[in-house]
Protein backbone atom coordinates (compact mmCIF):
# COMPACT_ATOMS: atom_id res chain seq x y z
CA UNK A 1 0.00 0.00 0.00
CA UNK A 2 1.47 3.30 -1.05
CA UNK A 3 0.81 6.58 0.52
CA UNK A 4 0.83 9.74 -1.56
CA UNK A 5 1.30 12.87 0.47
CA UNK A 6 -0.56 16.08 -0.47
CA UNK A 7 1.89 18.71 -1.38
CA UNK A 8 0.74 22.33 -0.81
CA UNK A 9 2.45 24.80 -3.04
CA UNK A 10 2.81 28.22 -1.51
CA UNK A 11 4.10 31.41 -3.00
CA UNK A 12 7.46 32.61 -1.97
CA UNK A 13 7.11 35.30 0.69
CA UNK A 14 7.60 38.87 -0.58
CA UNK A 15 10.68 40.53 0.79
CA UNK A 16 9.97 43.10 3.47
CA UNK A 17 9.31 46.54 2.01
CA UNK A 18 8.57 45.26 -1.48
CA UNK A 19 5.55 46.83 -3.29
CA UNK A 20 2.65 44.83 -4.77
CA UNK A 21 2.68 44.69 -8.54
CA UNK A 22 0.75 47.64 -10.03
CA UNK A 23 -2.46 46.87 -11.95
CA UNK A 24 -2.17 47.18 -15.68
CA UNK A 25 -2.35 50.77 -16.94
CA UNK A 26 -5.59 51.81 -18.62
CA UNK A 27 -5.51 53.94 -21.72
CA UNK A 28 -6.53 57.49 -20.81
CA UNK A 29 -9.04 57.94 -23.65
CA UNK A 30 -10.55 54.51 -23.06
CA UNK A 31 -11.01 55.34 -19.38
CA UNK A 32 -12.51 58.72 -20.27
CA UNK A 33 -14.97 57.18 -22.72
CA UNK A 34 -16.10 54.51 -20.27
CA UNK A 35 -16.44 57.03 -17.45
CA UNK A 36 -18.81 59.27 -19.40
CA UNK A 37 -21.30 56.44 -19.82
CA UNK A 38 -21.05 55.42 -16.16
CA UNK A 39 -21.53 58.98 -14.92
CA UNK A 40 -24.51 59.86 -17.06
CA UNK A 41 -26.23 56.54 -16.34
CA UNK A 42 -25.84 56.99 -12.58
CA UNK A 43 -27.02 60.60 -12.81
CA UNK A 44 -30.08 59.40 -14.72
CA UNK A 45 -30.77 56.65 -12.18
CA UNK A 46 -30.54 59.12 -9.30
CA UNK A 47 -33.47 61.11 -10.74
CA UNK A 48 -35.85 58.48 -9.46
CA UNK A 49 -39.51 58.61 -8.60
CA UNK A 50 -40.54 60.03 -5.25
CA UNK A 51 -42.34 57.98 -2.64
CA UNK A 52 -44.61 59.33 0.06
CA UNK A 53 -42.72 57.41 2.74
CA UNK A 54 -39.49 59.35 2.20
CA UNK A 55 -41.17 62.53 3.47
CA UNK A 56 -42.00 61.13 6.88
CA UNK A 57 -45.15 59.81 8.48
CA UNK A 58 -46.85 62.98 9.73
CA UNK A 59 -50.15 64.28 8.40
CA UNK A 60 -48.23 67.12 6.77
CA UNK A 61 -46.44 64.95 4.21
CA UNK A 62 -47.55 65.34 0.59
CA UNK A 63 -50.56 63.29 -0.46
CA UNK A 64 -50.31 60.26 -2.70
CA UNK A 65 -52.03 62.30 -5.40
CA UNK A 66 -49.34 64.99 -5.33
CA UNK A 67 -46.56 62.37 -5.39
CA UNK A 68 -48.15 60.57 -8.35
CA UNK A 69 -48.61 63.80 -10.30
CA UNK A 70 -44.94 64.72 -9.94
CA UNK A 71 -43.80 61.18 -10.77
CA UNK A 72 -45.85 61.29 -13.97
CA UNK A 73 -44.12 64.53 -14.93
CA UNK A 74 -40.71 62.98 -14.20
CA UNK A 75 -41.60 59.89 -16.24
CA UNK A 76 -42.32 62.07 -19.27
CA UNK A 77 -39.00 63.85 -18.85
CA UNK A 78 -37.10 60.59 -18.44
CA UNK A 79 -38.22 59.16 -21.79
CA UNK A 80 -35.98 61.36 -23.98
CA UNK A 81 -33.32 61.33 -21.26
CA UNK A 82 -33.14 57.54 -21.26
CA UNK A 83 -32.68 57.53 -25.03
CA UNK A 84 -29.90 60.12 -24.70
CA UNK A 85 -28.16 58.05 -22.01
CA UNK A 86 -28.33 54.92 -24.18
CA UNK A 87 -26.76 56.83 -27.08
CA UNK A 88 -23.88 57.90 -24.82
CA UNK A 89 -23.33 54.29 -23.77
CA UNK A 90 -23.18 53.13 -27.39
CA UNK A 91 -20.78 55.95 -28.30
CA UNK A 92 -18.69 55.16 -25.21
CA UNK A 93 -18.17 51.58 -26.30
CA UNK A 94 -17.24 52.70 -29.81
CA UNK A 95 -14.78 55.27 -28.48
CA UNK A 96 -13.06 52.88 -26.07
CA UNK A 97 -12.21 50.20 -28.65
CA UNK A 98 -8.65 50.09 -30.01
CA UNK A 99 -9.60 51.29 -33.49
CA UNK A 100 -11.55 54.36 -32.38
CA UNK A 101 -10.91 57.47 -34.45
CA UNK A 102 -11.52 61.20 -34.07
CA UNK A 103 -15.09 60.95 -35.37
CA UNK A 104 -15.98 58.44 -32.65
CA UNK A 105 -14.60 60.72 -29.96
CA UNK A 106 -16.36 63.78 -31.39
CA UNK A 107 -19.64 61.84 -31.47
CA UNK A 108 -19.18 60.82 -27.82
CA UNK A 109 -18.60 64.42 -26.74
CA UNK A 110 -21.64 65.66 -28.66
CA UNK A 111 -23.93 62.98 -27.24
CA UNK A 112 -22.54 63.48 -23.75
CA UNK A 113 -23.35 67.21 -23.88
CA UNK A 114 -26.85 66.49 -25.16
CA UNK A 115 -27.47 63.93 -22.42
CA UNK A 116 -26.20 66.31 -19.75
CA UNK A 117 -28.56 69.02 -21.02
CA UNK A 118 -31.45 66.58 -20.57
CA UNK A 119 -30.14 65.54 -17.16
CA UNK A 120 -29.95 69.15 -15.97
CA UNK A 121 -33.46 69.90 -17.25
CA UNK A 122 -34.85 66.85 -15.46
CA UNK A 123 -32.83 67.54 -12.32
CA UNK A 124 -34.21 71.08 -12.19
CA UNK A 125 -37.73 69.69 -11.93
CA UNK A 126 -36.70 66.94 -9.50
CA UNK A 127 -34.91 69.42 -7.24
CA UNK A 128 -37.89 71.80 -7.21
CA UNK A 129 -40.34 69.19 -5.97
CA UNK A 130 -37.81 67.58 -3.63
CA UNK A 131 -37.43 70.92 -1.84
CA UNK A 132 -41.17 71.63 -2.05
CA UNK A 133 -42.15 68.32 -0.48
CA UNK A 134 -39.24 68.49 1.94
CA UNK A 135 -40.76 71.57 3.60
CA UNK A 136 -43.40 69.28 5.05
CA UNK A 137 -40.77 67.59 7.22
CA UNK A 138 -39.72 70.84 8.86
CA UNK A 139 -41.04 72.97 11.69
CA UNK A 140 -43.74 74.55 9.53
CA UNK A 141 -45.05 71.39 7.87
CA UNK A 142 -48.28 71.27 9.86
CA UNK A 143 -48.94 74.97 9.22
CA UNK A 144 -48.71 74.34 5.50
CA UNK A 145 -50.94 71.29 5.81
CA UNK A 146 -53.51 73.50 7.55
CA UNK A 147 -53.42 75.82 4.54
CA UNK A 148 -53.99 72.80 2.28
CA UNK A 149 -57.12 72.01 4.28
CA UNK A 150 -58.48 75.52 3.78
CA UNK A 151 -57.77 75.44 0.04
CA UNK A 152 -59.43 72.04 -0.31
CA UNK A 153 -62.49 73.29 1.58
CA UNK A 154 -62.83 76.17 -0.91
CA UNK A 155 -62.62 73.80 -3.86
CA UNK A 156 -65.15 71.39 -2.38
CA UNK A 157 -67.67 74.12 -1.65
CA UNK A 158 -67.51 75.49 -5.19
CA UNK A 159 -67.58 72.17 -7.03
CA UNK A 160 -70.40 70.81 -4.86
CA UNK A 161 -72.72 73.66 -5.86
CA UNK A 162 -72.24 73.96 -9.62
CA UNK A 163 -75.33 73.74 -11.77
CA UNK A 164 -74.00 70.82 -13.82
CA UNK A 165 -71.23 68.25 -13.33
CA UNK A 166 -67.75 68.94 -14.64
CA UNK A 167 -64.54 66.97 -14.36
CA UNK A 168 -63.14 67.08 -10.83
CA UNK A 169 -59.65 68.64 -10.72
CA UNK A 170 -56.95 66.57 -9.07
CA UNK A 171 -54.78 66.85 -7.07
CA UNK A 172 -55.88 69.84 -4.97
CA UNK A 173 -53.78 72.96 -4.26
CA UNK A 174 -50.53 72.54 -2.34
CA UNK A 175 -49.19 75.25 -0.02
CA UNK A 176 -45.55 76.10 0.49
CA UNK A 177 -43.62 78.78 2.30
CA UNK A 178 -41.27 81.27 0.71
CA UNK A 179 -39.64 84.40 2.06
CA UNK A 180 -40.89 87.70 0.73
CA UNK A 181 -43.80 90.07 1.20
CA UNK A 182 -46.53 88.90 -1.14
CA UNK A 183 -48.39 85.61 -1.52
CA UNK A 184 -48.59 84.14 -5.01
CA UNK A 185 -50.00 81.19 -6.88
CA UNK A 186 -49.02 79.03 -9.83
CA UNK A 187 -51.93 77.47 -11.64
CA UNK A 188 -52.35 73.91 -12.81
CA UNK A 189 -50.93 73.07 -16.25
CA UNK A 190 -49.13 76.33 -16.89
CA UNK A 191 -45.43 76.33 -17.87
CA UNK A 192 -43.22 77.48 -15.01
CA UNK A 193 -39.86 79.10 -15.54
CA UNK A 194 -38.60 77.42 -12.37
CA UNK A 195 -39.44 74.08 -14.00
CA UNK A 196 -37.74 74.90 -17.27
CA UNK A 197 -41.15 75.73 -18.80
CA UNK A 198 -42.57 72.32 -17.88
CA UNK A 199 -46.28 72.22 -16.98
CA UNK A 200 -47.04 72.49 -13.28
CA UNK A 201 -49.21 69.44 -12.39
CA UNK A 202 -51.19 71.02 -9.52
CA UNK A 203 -51.92 74.50 -8.11
CA UNK A 204 -49.23 75.90 -5.84
CA UNK A 205 -50.07 78.49 -3.19
CA UNK A 206 -47.01 80.42 -2.05
CA UNK A 207 -47.28 82.00 1.41
CA UNK A 208 -44.77 84.27 3.15
CA UNK A 209 -43.67 83.35 6.66
CA UNK A 210 -45.11 86.55 8.12
CA UNK A 211 -48.59 85.54 6.94
CA UNK A 212 -48.28 82.08 8.44
CA UNK A 213 -47.40 83.46 11.89
CA UNK A 214 -50.39 85.85 11.66
CA UNK A 215 -53.19 83.57 10.44
CA UNK A 216 -55.79 86.34 10.80
CA UNK A 217 -54.16 87.84 7.67
CA UNK A 218 -54.65 84.61 5.73
CA UNK A 219 -57.47 85.89 3.59
CA UNK A 220 -54.64 85.64 1.07
CA UNK A 221 -55.29 81.90 0.81
CA UNK A 222 -58.85 82.56 -0.35
CA UNK A 223 -57.62 85.11 -2.89
CA UNK A 224 -54.89 82.86 -4.31
CA UNK A 225 -57.17 79.82 -4.46
CA UNK A 226 -59.70 81.96 -6.33
CA UNK A 227 -57.12 82.68 -9.03
CA UNK A 228 -56.93 78.95 -9.62
CA UNK A 229 -60.70 78.55 -9.59
CA UNK A 230 -61.06 81.09 -12.39
CA UNK A 231 -59.19 78.74 -14.70
CA UNK A 232 -60.50 75.47 -13.24
CA UNK A 233 -64.04 76.77 -13.95
CA UNK A 234 -63.10 77.98 -17.45
CA UNK A 235 -63.89 81.62 -16.63
CA UNK A 236 -60.58 83.14 -17.70
CA UNK A 237 -62.00 84.60 -20.93
CA UNK A 238 -65.67 85.17 -20.21
CA UNK A 239 -65.11 87.16 -17.01
CA UNK A 240 -63.00 89.97 -18.55
CA UNK A 241 -65.43 90.13 -21.47
CA UNK A 242 -68.38 90.38 -19.07
CA UNK A 243 -66.65 93.14 -17.09
CA UNK A 244 -65.94 95.23 -20.18
CA UNK A 245 -69.49 94.81 -21.48
CA UNK A 246 -71.05 95.67 -18.12
CA UNK A 247 -68.85 98.72 -17.55
CA UNK A 248 -69.57 100.02 -21.04
CA UNK A 249 -73.29 99.54 -20.42
CA UNK A 250 -72.88 101.65 -17.27
CA UNK A 251 -71.74 104.55 -19.48
CA UNK A 252 -67.97 104.42 -18.99
CA UNK A 253 -65.64 105.35 -21.88
CA UNK A 254 -63.91 102.49 -23.75
CA UNK A 255 -60.53 103.24 -22.13
CA UNK A 256 -62.04 102.98 -18.66
CA UNK A 257 -63.78 99.72 -19.56
CA UNK A 258 -60.51 98.27 -20.84
CA UNK A 259 -58.81 99.18 -17.57
CA UNK A 260 -61.41 97.35 -15.51
CA UNK A 261 -61.13 94.42 -17.89
CA UNK A 262 -57.36 94.34 -17.50
CA UNK A 263 -57.82 94.10 -13.74
CA UNK A 264 -60.13 91.09 -14.08
CA UNK A 265 -57.92 88.43 -12.47
CA UNK A 266 -57.26 90.39 -9.27
CA UNK A 267 -60.88 91.49 -9.14
CA UNK A 268 -61.98 87.87 -9.50
CA UNK A 269 -59.64 86.86 -6.65
CA UNK A 270 -61.13 89.54 -4.41
CA UNK A 271 -64.75 88.84 -5.30
CA UNK A 272 -64.58 85.07 -4.86
CA UNK A 273 -62.41 85.48 -1.75
CA UNK A 274 -65.06 87.76 -0.26
CA UNK A 275 -67.84 85.29 -1.03
CA UNK A 276 -65.83 82.46 0.53
CA UNK A 277 -64.73 84.32 3.66
CA UNK A 278 -67.05 87.28 4.22
CA UNK A 279 -66.10 90.20 6.46
CA UNK A 280 -62.72 88.77 7.49
CA UNK A 281 -61.56 88.64 3.90
CA UNK A 282 -62.20 92.36 3.43
CA UNK A 283 -60.43 93.39 6.63
CA UNK A 284 -57.51 91.15 5.69
CA UNK A 285 -57.39 92.86 2.29
CA UNK A 286 -57.47 96.29 3.92
CA UNK A 287 -54.48 95.25 6.03
CA UNK A 288 -52.49 94.57 2.87
CA UNK A 289 -53.46 97.46 0.60
CA UNK A 290 -53.83 100.13 3.29
CA UNK A 291 -50.49 101.84 2.69
CA UNK A 292 -49.24 105.39 2.37
CA UNK A 293 -51.60 107.74 0.56
CA UNK A 294 -49.39 108.12 -2.49
CA UNK A 295 -49.19 104.31 -2.81
CA UNK A 296 -52.89 103.65 -2.26
CA UNK A 297 -53.84 106.37 -4.75
CA UNK A 298 -51.15 105.47 -7.27
CA UNK A 299 -52.43 104.35 -10.67
CA UNK A 300 -50.14 101.92 -12.49
CA UNK A 301 -50.49 102.20 -16.25
CA UNK A 302 -50.73 98.66 -17.59
CA UNK A 303 -50.84 97.13 -14.09
CA UNK A 304 -52.98 94.08 -13.35
CA UNK A 305 -53.97 95.12 -9.81
CA UNK A 306 -56.77 97.62 -9.28
CA UNK A 307 -55.65 100.87 -7.72
CA UNK A 308 -55.79 100.11 -3.95
CA UNK A 309 -58.07 103.06 -3.23
CA UNK A 310 -60.74 101.65 -5.56
CA UNK A 311 -60.14 98.02 -4.67
CA UNK A 312 -61.64 98.18 -1.18
CA UNK A 313 -64.82 99.81 -2.47
CA UNK A 314 -65.29 96.83 -4.80
CA UNK A 315 -65.26 94.35 -1.93
CA UNK A 316 -67.50 96.59 0.17
CA UNK A 317 -70.05 96.79 -2.64
CA UNK A 318 -70.15 93.00 -2.79
CA UNK A 319 -70.46 92.75 1.01
CA UNK A 320 -73.38 95.14 0.87
CA UNK A 321 -75.17 92.97 -1.68
CA UNK A 322 -74.43 89.83 0.33
CA UNK A 323 -76.52 91.22 3.19
CA UNK A 324 -73.84 93.05 5.21
CA UNK A 325 -75.05 96.61 4.62
CA UNK A 326 -73.99 98.01 8.01
CA UNK A 327 -70.55 96.36 7.86
CA UNK A 328 -69.96 97.59 4.32
CA UNK A 329 -70.92 101.13 5.33
CA UNK A 330 -68.53 100.99 8.30
CA UNK A 331 -65.69 99.79 6.07
CA UNK A 332 -66.44 102.49 3.48
CA UNK A 333 -66.40 105.16 6.16
CA UNK A 334 -63.13 103.91 7.64
CA UNK A 335 -61.52 103.76 4.20
CA UNK A 336 -62.54 107.34 3.44
CA UNK A 337 -61.11 108.45 6.79
CA UNK A 338 -57.80 106.88 5.79
CA UNK A 339 -57.93 108.48 2.34
CA UNK A 340 -60.06 111.65 2.64
CA UNK A 341 -58.84 113.12 -0.64
CA UNK A 342 -57.79 111.69 -3.99
CA UNK A 343 -55.64 114.69 -4.86
CA UNK A 344 -52.43 112.94 -3.75
CA UNK A 345 -52.78 110.30 -6.47
CA UNK A 346 -52.62 110.03 -10.23
CA UNK A 347 -55.82 108.11 -10.90
CA UNK A 348 -57.12 109.19 -14.33
CA UNK A 349 -60.05 111.61 -13.90
CA UNK A 350 -62.39 109.53 -16.09
CA UNK A 351 -61.64 106.40 -14.04
CA UNK A 352 -62.26 108.23 -10.77
CA UNK A 353 -65.37 110.04 -11.96
CA UNK A 354 -67.10 106.88 -13.20
CA UNK A 355 -65.90 104.64 -10.34
CA UNK A 356 -69.18 104.38 -8.36
CA UNK A 357 -71.17 103.20 -11.39
CA UNK A 358 -68.32 101.02 -12.65
CA UNK A 359 -67.88 99.30 -9.28
CA UNK A 360 -71.53 98.27 -9.25
CA UNK A 361 -71.23 97.10 -12.86
CA UNK A 362 -68.11 95.05 -12.12
CA UNK A 363 -69.73 93.30 -9.15
CA UNK A 364 -72.72 92.52 -11.37
CA UNK A 365 -70.49 91.11 -14.10
CA UNK A 366 -68.33 88.90 -11.90
CA UNK A 367 -70.73 87.73 -9.20
CA UNK A 368 -74.24 87.95 -10.61
CA UNK A 369 -73.81 86.90 -14.25
CA UNK A 370 -74.73 83.33 -15.10
CA UNK A 371 -72.00 81.46 -16.95
CA UNK A 372 -72.39 78.20 -18.94
CA UNK A 373 -69.34 76.62 -17.29
CA UNK A 374 -71.04 77.02 -13.89
CA UNK A 375 -74.08 75.12 -15.12
CA UNK A 376 -75.83 78.41 -15.94
CA UNK A 377 -75.44 79.64 -12.40
CA UNK A 378 -73.81 82.82 -11.17
CA UNK A 379 -70.91 82.71 -8.75
CA UNK A 380 -73.16 84.18 -6.09
CA UNK A 381 -75.52 81.22 -6.59
CA UNK A 382 -72.61 78.78 -6.36
CA UNK A 383 -70.84 80.25 -3.32
CA UNK A 384 -72.90 80.62 -0.16
CA UNK A 385 -72.03 83.17 2.50
CA UNK A 386 -74.71 85.05 4.43
CA UNK A 387 -75.04 86.79 7.81
CA UNK A 388 -75.91 83.44 9.44
CA UNK A 389 -72.46 82.18 8.43
CA UNK A 390 -70.86 85.21 10.06
CA UNK A 391 -72.67 84.23 13.26
CA UNK A 392 -71.08 80.79 13.02
CA UNK A 393 -67.68 82.42 12.63
CA UNK A 394 -68.20 84.60 15.71
CA UNK A 395 -69.24 81.61 17.82
CA UNK A 396 -66.20 79.70 16.58
CA UNK A 397 -64.01 82.68 17.52
CA UNK A 398 -65.07 82.45 21.17
CA UNK A 399 -64.35 78.73 21.23
CA UNK A 400 -61.02 79.14 19.48
CA UNK A 401 -59.99 81.70 22.09
CA UNK A 402 -60.67 79.17 24.85
CA UNK A 403 -58.85 76.40 23.02
CA UNK A 404 -61.99 74.30 22.71
CA UNK A 405 -63.34 72.57 19.62
CA UNK A 406 -64.95 75.24 17.41
CA UNK A 407 -67.34 72.68 16.00
CA UNK A 408 -68.27 71.69 12.47
CA UNK A 409 -67.53 75.03 10.83
CA UNK A 410 -65.86 74.77 7.41
CA UNK A 411 -62.09 75.12 7.44
CA UNK A 412 -62.17 78.42 5.54
CA UNK A 413 -64.34 79.96 8.28
CA UNK A 414 -61.53 79.52 10.80
CA UNK A 415 -59.69 82.41 9.12
CA UNK A 416 -62.63 84.62 10.03
CA UNK A 417 -62.84 83.09 13.50
CA UNK A 418 -59.23 83.84 14.38
CA UNK A 419 -59.63 87.32 12.88
CA UNK A 420 -62.64 88.07 15.10
CA UNK A 421 -60.82 86.69 18.12
CA UNK A 422 -57.80 88.94 17.51
CA UNK A 423 -59.86 92.05 16.77
CA UNK A 424 -61.92 91.55 19.94
CA UNK A 425 -58.88 90.60 22.02
CA UNK A 426 -60.47 87.37 23.16
CA UNK A 427 -57.04 85.81 23.74
CA UNK A 428 -53.35 86.66 23.15
CA UNK A 429 -52.33 86.49 19.47
CA UNK A 430 -49.78 83.72 20.14
CA UNK A 431 -52.41 81.50 21.76
CA UNK A 432 -54.86 82.16 18.93
CA UNK A 433 -52.26 81.26 16.32
CA UNK A 434 -51.51 78.01 18.14
CA UNK A 435 -55.19 77.10 18.52
CA UNK A 436 -55.88 77.92 14.86
CA UNK A 437 -53.30 75.47 13.56
CA UNK A 438 -54.07 72.87 16.18
CA UNK A 439 -57.71 72.78 15.15
CA UNK A 440 -56.95 72.51 11.43
CA UNK A 441 -54.41 69.73 11.88
CA UNK A 442 -56.43 67.56 14.26
CA UNK A 443 -59.54 67.39 12.10
In this structure, are residues 376 and 394 in contact, taking their beta carbons and an 8 Å threshold? no
Phi and psi, residue 433, nearest 5° = -60, -45
HSE-CB at 129 with a 13 A cutoff on CA atoms is 31
> Using the 8-state DSSP alphabet, how is residue 74 labeled?
H
Is 409 in contact with 416 (CB distance < 8 Å)?
no
Last residue of a domain, one of 137, 154, 180: 137
Mean predicted confidence (pLDDT) in 59-68: 97
Cα end-to-end span (Å), the chain: 91
**Judgement on whether residues 382 and 405 belong to the same structural domain of the protein:** no
Whether 230 and 168 share a structural domain: yes
Is 160 domain-assigned? yes
State the average pLDDT over residues 398-403. Answer: 97
Residues 6+ apart with CB under 8 A from 1: none
Distance CA 378, CA 369 (A): 5
In a domain, 20, yes or no: no
Query: Do 36 and 92 meet the contact criterion of CB atoms below 8 Å apart?
Result: yes
Taking 80 as the threshold, does the pLDDT of residue 6 lie above it? no
Distance from C-alpha of 307 to C-alpha of 194, rounded to nearest angstrom: 29
- Minimum mean pLDDT among 28-32, 123-127, 165-169, 216-220: which range? 28-32
Higher pLDDT: 37 or 393? It is 393
pLDDT tens track for 108-156: 899 998 999 999 999 999 999 999 999 999 889 999 999 999 999 999 9
Range of the structural domain that residue 415 is part of? 388-442
Is pLDDT above 80 for 366?
A: yes
Q: What is the pLDDT of residue 183?
A: 94
Residue 427 · residue 401 · CB < 8 Å: yes
Nearest-5° Cα angle at 257, 256 to 259:
65
- In this prediction, residue 196 has a pLDDT band, given cuts at 50, 70 and 90, of confident
In this structure, the answer to whether residues 132 and 187 fall within a common structural domain is no
**Could you tell me if residue 6 is inside a domain?**
no
Same domain, 46 and 103: yes
Q: Is the pLDDT of residue 102 over 60?
A: yes
Do the domain assignments include residue 372?
yes
Q: Is the pLDDT of residue 10 over 80?
A: no
Q: How does DSSP classify residue 371?
A: B
Q: Is residue 248 part of a domain?
A: yes
- Answer yes or no: is pLDDT of 5 > 60: no
Write down the pLDDT at residue 29.
Answer: 80
Pairing of strands 198-199, 191-192: antiparallel
4 has pLDDT over 50: no
Mean residue pLDDT across the chain: 92
**Cα 240 from Cα 339, distance rounded (Å):** 28
Report long-range pairs for 136-140 (Cβ below 8 Å, ≥24 apart): 136/55, 136/56, 136/58, 136/60, 136/61, 136/62, 137/55, 137/56, 137/58, 137/60, 137/61, 140/177, 140/209, 140/212
- 282 with 352, same domain: the answer is yes
- Sequence-ordered list of residues with C-beta below 8 angstroms from that of 422, at least 6 positions apart, any chain: 216, 429, 432
Task: Output the pLDDT for position 8.
Answer: 47
Sorted by sequence, the CB contacts under 8 Å of residue 39 that are 6+ apart come out as none
In DSSP notation, 7-59 reads ----PPPPPTTPPPPPPPPPPHHHHHHHHHHHHHHHHHHHS----GGGG-SST
Q: Which of 95, 120, 137 is the last residue of a domain?
A: 137
User: Does a structural domain hold residue 8?
Assistant: no
157 and 133 within one domain? no
Q: Are 99 and 212 members of one domain?
A: no
User: In the predicted model, what is the mean pLDDT of residues 234-249?
Assistant: 98
- Angle of helix 325-338 relative to helix 279-289, nearest 10 degrees, comes to 10
Q: Same domain for 298 and 372?
A: yes
Q: Which of 90, 113, 137 is the last residue of a domain?
A: 137
Is 379 a member of any domain? yes
Q: For residues 382 and 392, state if they share a domain.
A: no
Q: Is residue 10 part of a domain?
A: no
- Backbone angle region of 189, left / alpha / beta, with phi > 0 → left and psi within -120 to 50 → alpha: left
Q: Where are the alpha helices (DSSP H) in 291-412?
A: 293-296, 308-321, 325-338, 349-353, 355-367, 379-382, 387-402
Model pLDDT, residue 96: 84
Q: What is the pLDDT of residues 34-48, one digit of tens each?
A: 888 898 999 899 999
Interatomic CA distance for residues 276 and 229, integer angstroms: 12
Query: Same domain, yes or no, for 336 and 395?
Result: no
108/185 same-domain check: no
pLDDT at res. 155 = 98
Q: What is the pLDDT of residues 312-342, one digit of tens each?
A: 999 999 999 999 999 999 999 999 999 999 9
Cα 190 from Cα 402, distance rounded (Å): 43
Phi, psi dihedrals of residue 376, rounded to the nearest 5°: 60, 35
Whole-angstrom distance, CA of residue 187 vs CA of residue 235: 14
Give the residue-averaged pLDDT of 348-373. 98
Asked if the bond preceding 171 is cis, omega within 30° of 0, the reply is: yes
Overall number of domains in the chain: 3
Question: Binning pLDDT at 50, 70 and 90, where does residue 3 land?
Answer: very low
Same domain, 307 and 175: yes
**Reported pTM:** 0.88
**What's the maximum distance between 2 C-alpha atoms anywhere in the chain?**
129
Amino acid sequence: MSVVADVQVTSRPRPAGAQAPAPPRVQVLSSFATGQAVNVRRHFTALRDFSRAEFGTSIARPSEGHIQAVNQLLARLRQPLEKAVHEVEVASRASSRPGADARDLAQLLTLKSRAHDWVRATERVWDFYFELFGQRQGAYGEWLFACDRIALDCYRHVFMHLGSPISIPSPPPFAYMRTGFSPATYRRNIPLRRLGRQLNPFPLVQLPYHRLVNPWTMGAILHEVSHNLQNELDLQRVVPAAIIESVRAAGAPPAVARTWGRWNREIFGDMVGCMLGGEAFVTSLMDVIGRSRDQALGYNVGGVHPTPYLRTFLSNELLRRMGFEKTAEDYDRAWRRLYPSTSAGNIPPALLRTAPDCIRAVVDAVCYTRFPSLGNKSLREVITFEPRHQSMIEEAAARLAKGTDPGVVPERFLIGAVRVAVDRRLAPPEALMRNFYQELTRR
